[in-house]
Chains A and B, each alone.
Chain A
């Protein structure tokens, strides 16, 4: 329980459904800040107390579990390493994959619990054979199935999302109010919890060695200098401070970051359109569909951001050579902008989450033809 309204209501519903529920707050830092500032962040002592208070009202025990070491290693350090390698990671996904539905779940199972119940907006469906599928929540505007797309079948078997069918967040707040939960009107948390002021670039600048280097255009011609390649993200337009204007006079965007050469590649907006994605570290949210096993192409929708729109695509698994892990090859029917290596692509069929992969290569056919 984060101390927010969603997990409090999820816990309340689990209690009401007759489960033996224990509230657990994850300590993700040994030295949390004492009070909230603004609406951001989620790991202060005040949040811990809010979660505790909700447990008091629900009449359930409350514990703080310290996963700060694991979090530092598996989420924060991973985040830094990915940026240092020129990729754009999603730390919330990493946390779901390795902390909430792994380290925490494992400890819970050892202590005799059956499942981790969270306030995520997503739905788990079980078929007649007991196989589980992950689906979007009823409220697509709040849907969080993207950040859960990394869960495996085994993790889904031990997951509960009681907010699945809630028509809206307003309903959750109203329910919290009805149940006497003091967090009913607490602001939502945003952004990355371990960067409390939301200044990701500033935070990264302290962790990653930034060296000035060249900004080049799509043809390789130097058009400016940057203070450190890792401060940029693909699709970025502002803050480039280019000395040489483009030939067509139109704005230029970051197309690519090359950490090894310490170069930032810029170009016209058209070249941002990505047509093909190759994904690594593939996992399936439940049993993989038949085409995955056979290697056949299948229709699906691809989503590359937590709140991005899904776009139609065809995908197929390409077997790895010589025992290497397979790759997921996705052709986007409509090209997609702002796709960066390191991001996660989640595949859907209708409301169902098929699985996910980490984007290794994002290709623009137009740029490849240059």
Chain B
């Protein structure tokens, strides 16, 4: 079995979620139907809604089930923008952090290109934290023209936790709603929707031990949202479509389990993560930890480094060969590996950003996983570095190098 250090990409299904999933998949019933089978399915969905609400610090009526984090982000950002513009056409500004996941980033860019949104990218500091002074300045500049603020709860690449409470305070003082993508935070940090004051918050099932393809948007009861998907009027008429009872039940089971285990698991994973960071920096002193240091500002399971002189891809390949699964952390735009927009926003140059590698721990991670990485890393790094040097000036003899050396006669 390979050593899995990519829990931020997806986590293994928890035992509770698997039990709920298989139980519900074996049953029939549309939660919108009025007969017995429908009532039974509806019961499962509403039980799940209460469980997810409890785990996220929300009221059950604030839970809108979706197909996952990306849909939740689209629904929140587009829905809020359209609803706010419908109320007042002057509200075209979106304040969005520069380190968002593509689900938010690309949605905002789409609104800019197609719906006349005026986007301000909120800069971040060297750790990836949003510049609050800048945000305050933007909010004080004609606040009546701002549609929404969207800032993630914790970054998926470098694990930096954003000052969400403070951001909400500032935005609400200017009477601007706030959305937060909490996909990485939910299940790893104490996330309380009500206490946060957020208007909308995205969460996802498969990042916390639930199945892929299910998530939720937590939406304040008084928040107006224009639907993206129209149909049967399910989920407060905000998200139409037959509810996926089995996935929703499994998501709720995973959320309940994660919430119950959170204090214990957060401490365990943080200790494991700190050992991983220490070990990596000991074995490869050239490596640089990216994202916020210390526990308070960083996701418990996240360790992210840049390794000078090598490409993240090469390191990933060599670790994979050694049975350790990691990630470069950045999305593959058009199939071509590109330096991460998060690292660039943090002020790194392209060359440095190309050497990124992310190791993320989760509920299934053990000490043995960390040991395996620390054993495999030094060789993999040395080799990746060598490969990183290749491809600049050829050391292989080619017709071109022969011609340059002027010994074509052999």
Contacts and interface: CB of A to CB of B under 8 A. Distances in A.
Interface of A: 22, 25, 27, 29-32, 34, 45, 48-49, 61, 63-68, 70, 97-98, 101-107, 109-112, 150, 152-155, 158, 280-284, 288, 292-293, 317, 319-320, 323-327, 356
Residue among A102, A153, A158, A326 with max Cβ neighbours from chain B (10 Å):
A102
B398 A320 contact: no
Interface in B266-308: none
A284 B410 contact: yes
A362 B390 CA distance: 37
B397 A154 contact: yes
Contacts of A317: 409-410
Interface of B: 313-314, 317-318, 320-321, 332, 334-338, 383-384, 386-387, 389-391, 394-400, 402-403, 406-410
B400 A325 contact: no
Given A112-B321, A112-B383, A152-B396, 15 more contacts: A25-B335, A27-B335, A27-B337, A31-B334, A98-B398, A102-B398, A103-B391, A103-B394, A104-B391, A107-B314, A110-B390, A153-B397, A281-B402, A282-B408, A325-B406
Contacts of B337: 27, 64, 66
Given A106-B395, A152-B399, A22 B317 contact: yes
Contacts of A48: 335
A208 to B, nearest CB: 23
A356 B403 CA distance: 12
A32 B334 contact: yes
Question: How would you classify the secondary structure of chain A's contact residues: helix, strand, loop or mixed?
Answer: mixed
A110 B313 contact: no
Contacts, number: 125
Contacts of A284: 410
Contact of A281 (B313, B389, B399, B409): B399
A71 B337 CA distance: 16
A31 B335 CA distance: 9
A49 to B, nearest CB: 8
A98 B394 CA distance: 8
Given A282-B408, A292-B410, A102 B396 contact: yes
B184 to A, nearest CB: 26
A30 B387 CA distance: 20
A316 to B, nearest CB: 11
B336 A325 contact: no
A152 B335 contact: no
A325 to B, nearest CB: 4
Contacts of B314: 107, 111
